[in-house]
Chain A
Amino acid sequence: MSDLIVIGAGLCGLIAAYTAARAGKQVKIVTKGLGATHWHAGSIDVLGYYPDDATPVMRPLETLHDLTRARPQHPYAILDGTLSDALENFASLTRELGLPYAGAPNSGDNLWLPSPVGAARPTFPAPRAQLAGDLRRAAPMLIVGLRGMRDFYPELIAENLSKQGQRARAAFLPLDLITDRRDSNTAQLASALDDPTRRAKLAAALKQLAQPGERIGIPAILGMDAHAAALDDLQAQTGAAIFEIPTLPPSVPGVRLTNALRNHLRQLGVRVEINADVIGFHAEKDRVLWIESDASGRPLKHRAEKFLLATGGILGGGIDSDHTGKVWERVFDLPLAVPREREQWFRARFFDPAGHPIFRAGVPVNREFQPIDAQGARVYANVWAAGNLLAHADPILERSLEGLAIATGIAAARRAVK
C-alpha cells in the first residue's frame, strides 16, 4: 500500500513523485511506457507566446500576470504565483542531479535558442549545454553536423539563422570521428562521446574548423552519462563556447533528464511500475481504493491512499478520442472541458494564432488541483491531477509545456501530501 500513486512518468509525474517522496511519503509511479521526455528539447518552456494572438513573450513571469488575470481558469492562475518557487525548486534539483539548468543572463528574460531547423524558440531555464546558443548573443555561430548522421542539417540551420539576421555558417565532420558503427541514433552517439578519447578527437577537429570568436553549435549528443565532463572537455580543448542544438527524437537532453530523475527517485525509494497500462479502478463513495493495470494474467491491483494523475493530454495519451467525436480521460473517465461537437475541435487554418480548441481540452480542477465536474463539485476526495492533462491551457501553442508540468506537478503533489 502506497501513500501516493502517481500515474504517468513524464516530466510532470517524475517531479510530482519526487516532491511527495521528499516529503517522506511512500510513492509509486505507475506508467504505461516512458513519457514525452524522450522527444522534448530538454529546456523548460514556461511561456513563449501569448495565447490568442501568439505574440512572443520576452519576460514570461511578468506576462504571466496578464495571462492569469485574463484567464482565471488557466492552470498557471491556480498556482497563486508559486511558479517562480517551482522553477527555483527545479533548478536546485538539477544542480543536485549534476545536470544544472540556468536562464538568460538578464534574469527573467526568455532565452531564444535555435531549433533543429534553425528557428528561434523561446524557452526559460535550459540545460547548461544549451545556453551559449542564445540568439541574442552577438558572437557568430558555426553549426557543425556529422556527415551520415540522420536528421541534423547544419546548412539548413545556418541558412535559416542567417535569414533571421544571425551570423551563422555550416560545416561538416565525418561521423567516424565518434563512432565505428555504420548506423547510429542520437542516443547511441551520445553514449559514444562518454568516451574521453572520442571527444578529444571531436574537439581537435572542431578546433580546426572554428575561427576565433565563433561559438560552435553541435547536435545534442555531447555525452549521455558523462555529459558534464564531455561539455567541459570540449570547451576547454577547443577554447570555444559550445552549445547543443536539440535533435529529432530520441532527444538526448530529454533522455538525460529522465535518466537522472529516475535514478534519483530510485534512491528515494520510489518504485516505477513501467508497462503498466491502467485499465480499471475501484472506488467506494468518493474514494478511489485501487487502480488496476493490464497484465499477462489477471490485472494487477495498485492500492494507495491517494492518486495523482499525470498522464498527459491528447498527445501524451491521458486523453483519448475517437472518430465519433467522443473524448474521454483514460484512467478515471473524469469529466472533461472539451468542445461539444467534433466540428468545433479545429479552426480552419492549421497555424491559426489562436490555436485549436481541442488542444485546450482537459480535466478541470479546483484550486486544490482536484478534478471537478461541470457543477464545480470535486469528483473524488483522493484524486489530484497535474500537467498537460489539465484543461484551459494549450501548452504547445503557448510554449508552456514543461513549465506547466513542473509547476502543477509540484503544486498538486504538495496539496496531495499535506
Chain B
Amino acid sequence: MHTASWHSVGMTLDECIKCNVCTTYCPVAAVTDKFPGPKYVGPQAQRFRECGQLKSPDISVDYCSACRVCNEVCPSGVKIAEINARAKAQIVADRGIPIRNWFFGRNEQLGKIGSIAPQIANLGFHNPFSRFMAEKIMGVARHAPIPHWSTAGSFGAWFRRTPRLKSDKKVVYFHGCSTNYYEPQVGKAAVAVLEHLGYQVIVPPQNCCGLPMLNNGEFRAAEKLYRSNIAKLLPYADQGLPIVGTSVSCVLVLREEASEMLDIENDETRRLRNALWDMSEWLRDLLERGELDTNFRELKMIVPYHVSCQARAHRMGRPSLDVMTLIPGLDVREGNAKCCGLAGTYGYKAEKYDIAMKVGEEAFRFVRAQGDDVRFTTSDSEICRWQLEHGTHKDCRAPIEIFAAAYGLYDLDKRRLIQK
C-alpha cells in the first residue's frame, strides 16, 4: 500500500476518458465562455503541448482559476489543475510575465514593504483614486477585496515581543504571509489555542509558500521559495515536531502542490510532508487520540461554513467542521458552493473580477440563505474570507479564531485576544 500521494502529473493525462464531468462542474466555465472548460484546456490541449512545440496552443488556460474542482470530481484521477498550471507556466516562459502578475507573485515582499508604515501604505493604496489608477495602469481590479496591511504590527513582531509558554510539548507554527502582514489576529488566536493546550510554540523563519507564483506561472521563482522553506522547516520535521499551519492553502502547497507542479519529489519533500498539518486537522488528530481539551464554552450563534476549494483539495475530510461541532450552541451550517471565486489572485485581476464575483455568487447565496441573524461566517482560507466579506458584507472568521473564542481566549467581535 502506498501511503503518500504522488503520481506524475503528465502520466495522468492518459487516464482521461472524456466524460466531461470536470467541464460540467467547472465553476468558471459555467459563468464565462472565455474558459472552454478543464477538459479542453487540460488533458485535450496538453496533447498539442507535447513534442517540444514552441508556443502553447491555447491561451484560454489563463482563465483557469486553479480552484481544483475538476480534480475533485474526476472519476479517473486526472490531475487537470496541475496540467493547467504547467501550461500557464509554459506561457510565462514563452512570453514573459505581465508586470501585475509579477507583483502578485511577490506577496511576501509586498507584505514586508507595506508593513514598514502600514497606515501610509493603506492610505496610499486603498483610496479610490489609487485603486482606479491601479486598474487603469496595472489591471488590478479596483473593487477587488485586496487586504489592508495590519496597523497593529506583524504577527512575527508580536510573537517575538510577548512572553511565551515554555513546555516539553512543542509544536512549530507556519503562519504564512497573510497572517504575518494582514491578519495577525489569526496567528495570535493560533498561538493562544496551542499554548492553552500546553504546547510551546516555535515560529521558525519562513518564506512565502510560493502559491501566488505557482498560480501566476512563475515556476522558477516558486521553486526557490519551496527549497528555501524545506531548508528552514526540515530540521524541525527531523526532530519529530509537528508543523501546523492556519493557512490551508500554504499547507497544501508545502505538502503537495509545489512538489507535484515542480516535479520535485525526494526524501526531503516526503519528510516535510509527513510533518505538516493543517491546524484543524491537527486538532482533530488530538481529539481522536483523546488529547484535545473539549471543554468549550457555549457560542450561541449560526455560522455558515464555506468549505474552500483549497481545503477540499487536501482530501482530509472536514476537520474544521469536526472540531466546530463540539462547541456547544454553535450551529455550523456547511455550504456546498464550489468556489468563492477569488481563487488566489484570480479575482484581483481586472479582466477576471466579474467572473470571480459570478462564481462566488453560489457561496454568497448560501450565506444569505442562513438568515439575517448571522454575524460571522467562517472559512479555512484567507482568500475565501476576504471574498465572502466582500460579497456578503458579513464578517468572516478563521476556524482557529472560533476555537480560541470557544476556549474563552479570544473576542470574535473585536478580533483580539482576551487578556487574562
Contacts and interface: CB of A to CB of B under 8 A. Distances in A.
Interface of A: 32-36, 38-39, 181-185, 187-188, 191, 249-250, 255, 266, 271, 273-277, 279-280, 292-300, 316-317
B76 A296 contact: no
Contacts of B317: 273, 300
Contacts, number: 103
Q: How large is the interface on B (under 10, 10 to 19, 20 to 34, 35 or more residues)?
A: 35 or more
Contact of B315 (A38, A182, A276, A317): A276
A33 B74 contact: yes
A271 B252 CA distance: 23
Contacts of A316: 75
Contacts of A295: 5, 314-316
Contacts of B23: 185, 187, 250
A90 B19 CA distance: 25
B36 interface: yes
A274 B73 contact: yes
B75 A185 contact: no
B312 interface: yes
B73 A299 contact: no
Contacts of B273: 296-297
A279 B2 contact: yes
A184 B315 CA distance: 30
Interface string B1-17: 11101000000000000
B75 A181 contact: no
B309 to A, nearest CB: 11
Nearest to A274: B72
A34 to B, nearest CB: 5
Contacts of A277: 77
Contacts of B277: 297
A297 B248 CA distance: 12
B316 A297 contact: yes
A296 B314 contact: yes
B315 A296 contact: yes
22 contacts: A32-B77, A33-B72, A34-B73, A182-B33, A183-B33, A185-B37, A187-B20, A187-B23, A249-B21, A250-B24, A271-B318, A275-B73, A279-B5, A293-B315, A296-B5, A296-B316, A297-B274, A297-B276, A297-B316, A300-B315, A300-B316, A316-B75
Contacts of A317: 75-76
A38 B19 contact: yes
Nearest to A180: B33
A372 B76 CA distance: 27
B21 A298 contact: no
A46 to B, nearest CB: 24
A249 B19 CA distance: 6
B256 A296 contact: yes
A35 B29 contact: no
Given A33-B72, A295-B5, A275 B20 contact: no
Nearest to B277: A297
B30 interface: yes
Contact of B75 (A36, A279, A280): A36
B336 interface: yes
Given A36-B75, A296-B252, A298-B274, 17 more contacts: A32-B75, A34-B21, A34-B73, A38-B24, A185-B23, A185-B29, A185-B37, A187-B23, A250-B21, A250-B23, A275-B71, A275-B313, A280-B3, A295-B315, A295-B316, A296-B256, A297-B281
Given A32-B77, A38-B19, A279 B1 contact: yes
Contacts of A255: 24
A292 B74 CA distance: 19
A416 B313 CA distance: 31
Contacts of B3: 280, 298-299
B255 interface: yes
> Which 9 pairs between the two chains have the least Cβ-Cβ distance?
A33-B75, A181-B33, A280-B1, A295-B315, A250-B24, A275-B72, A296-B256, A250-B20, A249-B20
Nearest to B68: A275
A183 B63 CA distance: 15
B18 interface: yes
B336 A266 contact: yes
Contacts of A266: 336
Nearest to B31: A188
A246 B76 CA distance: 23
B30 A191 contact: yes
A294 B314 CA distance: 9
Contacts of A32: 75, 77
Contacts of B25: 34
A305 B71 CA distance: 30
A250 B23 CA distance: 8
A293 B2 CA distance: 11
Contacts of B21: 33-34, 38, 249-250
A183 B316 CA distance: 36
Nearest to B70: A33
Interface string B65-90: 00000011111110000000000000
B24 A185 contact: yes
A55 B256 CA distance: 53
A34 B71 CA distance: 10
A22 B312 CA distance: 27
B24 A33 contact: no
Interface string B198-218: 000000000000000000000
Nearest to B257: A296
A317 B21 CA distance: 15
B418 to A, nearest CB: 32
Contacts of B276: 297
A206 B192 CA distance: 66
B315 A33 contact: no
A183 B36 contact: yes
Nearest to A187: B24
> Max chain A CB contacts within 10 Å: which of B2, B25, B278, B315?
B315
A255 B29 CA distance: 16
Contacts of B274: 297-298
A299 to B, nearest CB: 6
Contacts of A293: 315
A35 B314 contact: no
Nearest to B1: A280
Nearest to A35: B75
B73 A33 contact: yes
B30 A188 contact: yes
Interface in B154-169: none
Given A279-B1, A279-B2, A295-B315, A249 B33 contact: no
A9 B77 CA distance: 15
A256 to B, nearest CB: 11
Contacts of A39: 19-20
A247 B71 CA distance: 24
A408 B75 CA distance: 22
A229 B376 CA distance: 36
